[in-house]
């Protein structure tokens, strides 16, 4: 069992968020629907229980924030490659590199929607 079961990252503009995450994660997001709403899913095997799944969602009850917990996402490759793409795609790099020793590397950014998000990778 995982401590986290599902996550939702709030966005103001679903298309802008899709373009941002598509570019910085090397295409590892996809558009989808749930109920009557559209969302963006991360390409992880959450349906098989091998990974925790989550999405980017636009809902009236959720607003992007830089306060509160930081969610760390998979960088889907070299962390330095992701960090180099953030500013050019409408985000901002807050912490470009954290050495986590045997746990890899991390970075913290502000995404295109104003959320503080962390990324993890085994490759710098």
Q: What is the mean pLDDT of each run of 10 residues along the chain (124 residues)?
A: 87 98 96 90 80 90 94 96 98 98 98 98 96
Position 50 scores a pLDDT of 77
Position 2 scores a pLDDT of 77
Position 84 scores a pLDDT of 98
Position 111 scores a pLDDT of 98
* CATH code for residues 6-121: 3.10.180.10
Q: Which residues contact residue 40 at a Cβ distance below 8 angstroms, ignoring those fewer than 6 apart?
A: 11, 14, 17, 18, 21, 29, 30, 31, 32, 55, 56, 57
Helix (H, G, I), strand (E, B) or coil at 52: coil
Enter the pTM of the model.
0.92
Position 47 scores a pLDDT of 72
Position 72 scores a pLDDT of 96
The residue ranges of every structural domain in the chain are: 6-121
């Amino acid at each position: 069992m995982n401590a986290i079961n599902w996550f939702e990252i709030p966005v103001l503009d679903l298309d802008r968020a899709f373009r941002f995450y598509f570019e910085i994660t090397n295409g590892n997001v996809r558009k989808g629907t749930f109920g009557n709403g559209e969302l963006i899913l991360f390409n992880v095997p959450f349906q098989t229980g091998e990974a925790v799944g989550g999405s980017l969602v636009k809902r009236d009850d959720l607003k992007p924030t830089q306060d509160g917990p930081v969610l760390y996402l998979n960088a889907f490759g070299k962390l330095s490659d992701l960090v180099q793409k953030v500013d050019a795609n409408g985000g901002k790099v807050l912490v470009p590199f954290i050495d986590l020793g045997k746990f890899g590397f991390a970075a913290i950014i502000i995404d295109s929607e104003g959320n503080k998000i962390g990324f993890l990778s085994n490759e710098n």
